[in-house]
Amino acid sequence: MINVEHLYKRFGKNEVLKDISIDIKQGEVVSVIGPSGSGKSTFLRCINLLETPTEGKISVAGVDLTDKNTNVTKAREKIGMVFQHFHLFPHLTVLENLTYAPLKVKRLSKAEAEEKALVLLDRVGLSDKKDSYPNSLSGGQKQRVAIARALAMEPDLMLFDEPTSALDPEMVKEVLDVMKDLAESGMTMLVVTHEMGFAREVADRVIFLDQGLLIEEGEPHAFFSQPKSERAKDFLDKIL
């Protein structure tokens, strides 16, 4: 599903990602962890080209995103993204947030878009909020709407950029539950997270980045109980 080959990203002289290569299969849930400043978010943002890679090749669902002739806007339709700070459209209602892209990008009819949006809102448990504006929602509710908004485009894979980091502790679970449910439904997911519980229980694979290098990857239980590298060991000692 995702194929990354020798990805480099530099901001000026600052090398943020160094020679990252990885393959992610359809239906796989991969957690990206690492200390802050390790390049995890930048890595994630390269996958849908919110950051332009300096070097390397990224293909998603067989489409080479780094090819100059690829219509990136078109390719992004199939890549859902959830942000740390939600980024819901504040001037649109919850329902309009969900139907906007399907209406304007996929050109669905209003009835069809709304029908699908209502199913998704029900799935994230927010049917009763469909006519509310984002600013009247709690953080957890906003993030669930943001997930539903991304799903409304029926993506092939979902990127999560620290989806619970901006939430109050009591709201983390409601968002993780939605993500867990999504993982179980077979969605391909790439999740940058500080939630080690999620990485351990839900992810099929964990990749550990530090200072722009992919240090270690592996099955979560093995990784958390017996990390192979010193740096991963240090990191886990600090946070667990």
85 vs 233 by CB, closer to other proteins: 85
Q: How far is the CB of 61 from other proteins (least distance, A)?
A: 14
Q: How far is the CB of 219 from other proteins (least distance, A)?
A: 29
103 vs 176 by CB, closer to other proteins: 103
Q: Which residues bind other proteins (CB under 8 A)?
A: 48, 50, 73-81, 83, 85, 87-92, 100-101, 104-105, 133-135, 149-150, 153
Q: How far is the CB of 162 from other proteins (least distance, A)?
A: 13
20 vs 88 by CB, closer to other proteins: 88
By CB atoms closer than 10 A (0-12, 13-18, 19+), residue 125 is middle
Q: How far is the CB of 114 from other proteins (least distance, A)?
A: 17
Token reading at 222: 């093995």
Half-sphere exposure of 226 (CA within 13 A, CB side): 1
List, in order, residues 6 or more apart from 151 with CB less than 8 Å away: 80, 120, 123, 158, 182
Distance between CA 78 and CA 31 in Å, rounded? 20
Q: What share of the chain is helix, strand, coil (3-state, %, to 5)?
A: 40, 25, 35
